[in-house]
Copies of this chain bind each other. A is one copy, B any other.
Amino acid sequence: MSELINYGMIGGGEGSFIGDVHRRAIALDGKAVLTAGSFSRNTENNRKTGESLNLPSERIYNSFKEMAREEKNRRDGIDFAVIVTPNASHYEIARTFLEKGISVVCDKPLTLDSAQALELADLAEKQNLLFAVTYTYTGYPVIKHARSLIAKGEIGDIRFINAEYPQEWLATEIEQEGQKQAAWRTDPSSSGISNCVGDIGSHVENMISYITGLEIDRLSARLDIFGKNRKLDDNATIMVDYKSGARGLYWCSQIAVGHDNDLSFRIYGTKGSLSWHQENPEHLQLTYLDKPGMTISKGRDELSESGARMIRLPSGHPEGVFEAFANIYSNYVSALKTKLAGKEPQPDYMDFPSAMDGYKGVRFVEACVESSRKDAAWVKL
């Protein structure tokens, strides 16, 4: 029974959405157990959340600092901290736990500015700790397969990428009607310099970076504000030039009526193309030049080892977001276990978004905002 890894959570109190998702995703595989938390700055909410999660009262902390200090000192203290607070507090909380020698999983975007993100990446490395940033969607098995297909040259050299992330939920100004999620996302003091690019454009950047390995050379971005009285972008178009010579086009939107959560990409190479939609996450379209398009899914082809290992159910049994989340945690916890045992994790298990990936995401958002302020002038990354 000593096999189990213990974790604590910061944020994720009642009324929060994403904390619950993280907890369920971890529970699904049962490899790590919640043993401590500081769920809300509201004492009452914090206590109630902790109790509902069956935590002993001494491990329900009123502040993350107290939590870091106390857990550090317990013999059965947490092995890693999960940070699911709004963006603005990520940096300070992550730094605190890292300084105490506790590994960290943090929601994205990692920080409000890229210097902070880089600092966290450096600190984690210096402390020899594991740091993950939960870009959920790279957790899908067929995404790992897509990455493997590209790495093997199946679609040839990449020429053009068209990736997008349209949503509808901010098509009207629901932040003015008390919708809590909308309120903090559209508020610069919680969200930072960008709403739409920061929240979902960054997923596009991360997904393409993960799958293709391409690095962005420069970009030209036009950020739009369609909602009345909004201060931050709710739609953005981004032209991307990659260092390889490939070209890209990203679009993200929160005012795109008809789309729920429609992250997708299409990647065109010299020999073939790949396309994928997050709302149909277990199917990958692969087409070779002049040939009929093929729909790859678990059980309909041999997925790469990195993807196949992540499958919990046979073909035709849908797995979704909880499972994608769980996949990120699965690799992270496996790697952490090895690290805690004093060994180096296998590269395969280091397959989760790192602090450097988090940094790249924040840097991308900064560049988009800068370009847009200059009327879509090209900005080097």
Which chain A residues have a beta carbon within 8 Å of chain B's beta carbons? 1, 3-4, 17, 20-21, 23-24, 27-30, 53-54, 155, 159-160, 162, 164, 167-169, 171-172, 220, 222, 224, 226, 235, 237, 239, 247, 249, 251, 253, 255-262, 266, 268-273, 275, 278-281, 285-297, 299-301, 312-323, 375-376, 378
Q: Shortest distance in angstroms between A18's beta carbon and chain B's nearest beta carbon? A: 10
Please judge, given known A-B contacts A290-B300, A316-B278, whether A247 and B273 are in contact too, CB under 8 Å.
no
Can you list 15 A-B contacts (CB < 8 A)?
Answer: A20-B312, A24-B29, A28-B322, A159-B224, A162-B251, A222-B239, A239-B376, A258-B285, A260-B316, A290-B300, A292-B300, A295-B295, A318-B321, A319-B321, A322-B323
Please judge, given known A-B contacts A251-B162, A278-B316, A317-B320, whether A257 and B287 are in contact too, CB under 8 Å.
yes
Task: Sort A-B residue pairs by CB-CB distance and give the 10 closest, nearest first.
Answer: A261-B316, A260-B316, A318-B320, A258-B287, A260-B315, A292-B294, A257-B273, A258-B273, A317-B321, A320-B320
Q: What residues of chain B lie closer than 8 Å to A222, measured between beta carbons?
A: 220, 239, 247
Q: A235's closest neighbor in chain B, by CB?
A: B160
Copies in the complex: 4
Q: What residues of chain B lie closer than 8 Å to A288, measured between beta carbons?
A: 257
Please judge, given known A-B contacts A258-B273, A273-B256, whether A159 and B235 are in contact too, CB under 8 Å.
yes
A12 CA to B292 CA, complexed, in Å: 31
Q: Shortest distance in angstroms between A19's beta carbon and chain B's nearest beta carbon? A: 13
Q: A272's closest neighbor in chain B, by CB?
A: B257
A351 CA to B81 CA, complexed, in Å: 38
A244 CA to B246 CA, complexed, in Å: 33
| Cβ A295 vs Cβ B292 within 8 A | yes
Please judge, given known A-B contacts A24-B28, A292-B297, A296-B292, whether A317 and B168 are in contact too, CB under 8 Å.
no
Q: What residues of chain B lie closer than 8 Å to A29, measured between beta carbons?
A: 24
Please judge, given known A-B contacts A168-B289, A272-B257, whether A281 and B239 are in contact too, CB under 8 Å.
no
Q: Shortest distance in angstroms between A337's beta carbon and chain B's nearest beta carbon? A: 14
A260 CA to B318 CA, complexed, in Å: 11
Q: What residues of chain B lie closer than 8 Å to A159, measured between beta carbons?
A: 224, 226, 235, 255
